[in-house]
């Protein structure tokens, strides 16, 4: 039985080098990397951001995505996530309800007042 399980698992697990190459490809551009972490929804004057991966530890919200300003953080975006710190760009003018609710590990919030 365990032999069959190992065979099945092997088919789904890529070799370490292939995985590393895929990560490097996504790190090449900020927008590609951010699209893995966040969903972007069109709103008046720009975009709203929502977190895809609730295991993210250090959230650095971009000021733009595909040349559009990030204007808001959506409702429940980081709610019940594992984040310990978040950096919010000065382009964000709205934070949705419960955006940081139940974030028991959140200890640092940086609001970037410098121009991005």
pLDDT in tens, the chain (116 residues): 434 343 333 333 444 444 443 433 333 345 777 888 899 999 999 999 999 988 889 999 999 999 999 999 999 999 999 999 999 999 999 999 999 999 999 999 999 865 44
74: left (phi over 0), alpha (psi -120 to 50) or beta: beta
What confidence score (pLDDT) does residue 114 get? 58
CA atoms of 58 and 82, how far apart (whole Å)? 9
Q: What is the maximum alpha-carbon separation in the chain? A: 59
Give burial (CB, 10 Å; 0-12/13-18/19+) of 81.
buried
Taking alpha carbons only, the member of 66, 103, 110 closest to residue 89 is 110
């Amino acid at each position: 039985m365990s032999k069959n399980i190992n065979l099945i698992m092997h088919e789904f697990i890529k070799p370490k080098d292939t995985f590393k190459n895929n990560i490097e490809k996504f790190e090449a551009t900020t927008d590609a990397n951010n699209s893995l972490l966040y969903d972007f929804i069109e709103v008046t004057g720009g975009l709203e951001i929502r977190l895809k991966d609730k295991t993210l530890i250090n959230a650095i919200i971009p000021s733009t995505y595909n040349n559009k300003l990030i204007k808001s953080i959506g409702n429940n975006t980081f709610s019940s996530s594992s984040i310990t710190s978040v950096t919010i760009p000065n382009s964000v003018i709205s934070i949705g309800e419960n955006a940081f609710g139940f974030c028991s590990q959140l200890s640092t919030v940086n609001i970037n007042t410098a121009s991005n």
